[in-house]
Amino acid sequence: MCIRDRLYWESAYISPILNEFGEITNYIALKEDITERKSLLADLIEAKEKAEEMNRVKAYFFANMSHELRTPFVGIVGFSELLSESLQNPEEKEMANQILKSSKRLTETLNKILNVTRLEFDKLEVKLRDIDVIEMIDQLKILFSKSASSKNISIKTKISQDEIVVKTDGRMLDEMITNLLNNAIKYTQDGFIDISAETIVRENKNYLLLKVADTGVGIPKNKQEIIWKEFRQVSEGMNRSFEGTGLGLTIIKKYVETLSGKITLESEIGKGSTFVIEIPVEIVSKKEVNKSKEIVLKQTQNNIEIKSRKPKILYVEDDVIALSYVDKVLKAFYEIDTAFNATIALELANKNIYEAMLLDINLGKGIDGVELMQMMRKINGYNKIPIVAVTAYAAESDRLEFLAKGFTHYLSKPFTSVELRGMLGKIFNS
- Domain boundaries along the sequence of the chain: 128-286, 289-428
Region 269-277: mean pLDDT is 90
Q: Using one digit for the tens of pLDDT, what is the confidence trace for 192-208?
A: 999 999 999 988 899 99
Please say whether the beta carbons of 217 and 230 come within 8 A.
Answer: no
DSSP state of 228: G
Model confidence at 230, in pLDDT bands (50, 70, 90)?
A: low
Q: Determine whether 289 is exposed, middle or buried from the number of CB atoms within 10 Å of its CB (0-12, 13-18, 19+).
A: middle
Query: How far is residue 33's CA from residue 41's CA, in Å, rounded to a whole number?
Result: 14
The topology (CATH level 3) of 289-428 is Rossmann fold (3.40.50)
Q: Using one digit for the tens of pLDDT, what is the confidence trace for 370-390?
A: 999 999 999 988 988 999 999
- Phi then psi for residue 217, to 5 deg, are -75, -20
> What was the pLDDT predicted at 355?
93
> What was the pLDDT predicted at 297?
45
Higher-confidence residue of 86 and 278: namely: 278
Query: How far is residue 312's CA from residue 102's CA, in Å, rounded to a whole number?
Result: 34
Of the ranges 242-251, 297-306, 333-342, the best mean pLDDT one: 333-342
Model confidence at 251, in pLDDT bands (50, 70, 90)?
A: confident
User: In sequence order, what are the residues at sequence separation of 6 or more whose Cβ sits closer than 8 angstroms to the Cβ of residue 161?
Assistant: 198, 199
Q: Do domains 128-286 and 289-428 have the same CATH topology?
A: no
For the question of whether the overall pTM of this predicted structure is more than 0.85, the answer is no
Is domain 128-286 in CATH 3.30.565.10, yes or no? yes
